[in-house]
Copies of this chain bind each other. A is one copy, B any other.
Amino acid sequence: MKKLMNDSTKIVSQFLDGLVASHGNLIKRLEGTEVIVRKEMIPNKVGLISGGGSGHEPAHAGYVGTGMLDAAIAGEVFTSPGADQFLAAIQAADQGSGVLLIIKNYNGDVMNAEMAMEMAEAKGIETAMVVVNDDIAVDDVENRRGIAGTVLIHKVAGAKAEQLASLQEVKEVAERAISNVRSMSVALQACTLPSASKPSFSLSDTQMEVGIGIHGEQGMSREDVLTSYEIAELLVSHIEKEVDVTKPVYVLVNGMGSTPLLEQYVFANDTVSILKKNNVHVEKMLVGDYMTSLDMAGISLTLFAIDEELHSLLQSKATTIQWTEVSQ
C-alpha cells in the first residue's frame, strides 16, 4: 500500500514537525515529546488536554488553540500514548487552576491518563477527567467508544474554560455535553496502517461495514452498499433513539479520511432532509474531516442535542487549525 511518507516508525513525529512548521503562530511542540501545546497560554484558565493514538488527524493537535485545547498528545498510530506523555501535557497545560483531560473511551487511553493524573496530583496539580463514549454501534454501554463527537466536547469545554470557569464547572459542562452527543459510522473501504501492506479488513465492491470504529476494527454488520440517502436514514434512525431530538441539534458529518467533500456534502444534504422530515430542529451542520481513521473511506454522523448554554459555547470564537470561525 502506497503512502506519502518516509518511514512508518517516524510518521507521527514528522507529522507533528510539519504541523508546527505550518502553524507556528498557534502551536509548538514540547521538546522531546509527542505533545503539541498552545502557544499563548492564559493565566488561571483551566487547562484542557486531549489525545490518544494518531491516525485521526486533524484530531487532536488540530484543535489546540484559542477556545479549545491547551495541549494534545499524539501516540503512535492507533496506540495510546504512555502515562509520561500525558503527564508532560498536563504539566504544560496547567496554568494554576487545574487540568481537565478529555479522553476517548479506550482502555489504554483511560488507564494511562489515570496514571498520569496520579503523578500530576503528587506534584500538586489538580486534575479531572471526562470520558467520551459517543459511538452507539457498541451495544454494551460501558464499552462504547469515543469517536467524532469528541471534537464537540473539546469545543464546549474549551469555550467554558476560556470564560475562566472552575475545573468543576468545566468538567460539569463537558459531562452534560457527553451525555447529549451520539455518533455512528459506515465504511466503504477499510484503512491501511502505515506499517502494513494491506487494509485491516477487506470489503468487496458491493459491501459496506456498518458501525465501524476509528481504529480499523470491524463494525457491527456487513451489508450491501446503500445510497447516500439510505445510509443517512440508517444512521439517523439509530442515533435518534439515543439523543433527545426534541431539542435543537448540532449535526457533524465527518469524513473518515479519504472521502471527498463532494460526497460528504451529498450525505450532509440527505441527512438534513431526513432530520427536517422528522421535525428535528437542525441548528447547525458541520461537514469535513474532523476525526479520521487514516485513509478509510466512509462517514460518521454525530447528533448533539443542545441547550442554551451549550449552544452559546459552540458559537463562541475558536481559532485552531481545524475548527475556525466558519465552523461555528
Residue ranges of A at the interface with B (Cβ–Cβ < 8 Å): 1-7, 11-12, 14-19, 21-23, 26, 54-55, 57-58, 62, 65, 188-189, 205-206, 208, 225, 227-229, 231, 257-270, 272, 285-287, 289, 292, 294-295, 297-299, 319-321, 324-326
Contact = CB atoms under 8 A, between A and B. Distances in A.
A131 B272 CA distance: 37
B261 A4 contact: no
Contacts of A23: 326
A3 B260 CA distance: 9
18 contacts: A2-B189, A2-B225, A5-B227, A11-B263, A17-B269, A18-B266, A18-B268, A21-B285, A22-B272, A22-B285, A55-B262, A57-B265, A58-B261, A260-B295, A261-B292, A324-B324, A324-B326, A325-B325
B57 A4 contact: no
A265 B268 CA distance: 27
Contacts of A2: 188-189, 205-206, 208, 225, 297
B295 A22 contact: no
Contacts of A268: 18, 21-22
Contacts of A261: 15, 57-58, 62, 289, 292
A262 B57 contact: yes
A90 to B, nearest CB: 25
A134 B321 CA distance: 26
Nearest to A289: B261
Contact of A324 (B206, B266, B267, B325): B325
Interface centre among A54, A65, A325 (most CB of B within 10 A): A325
Contacts of A229: 6
B297 A267 contact: no
Contact of A259 (B4, B21, B62, B272): B4
Contacts of A325: 319, 324-325
A36 to B, nearest CB: 11
Q: Which 7 A-B pairs have the closest CB atoms?
A: A18-B269, A258-B258, A18-B265, A22-B285, A4-B263, A324-B324, A57-B261
A54 B262 contact: yes
Contact of A22 (B6, B259, B286): B286
Nearest to A282: B21
A324 B288 CA distance: 14
Contacts of A16: 265
Contacts of A270: 6, 14, 18
A235 to B, nearest CB: 12
A293 B124 CA distance: 52
B22 A57 contact: no
B297 A15 contact: no
A58 to B, nearest CB: 6
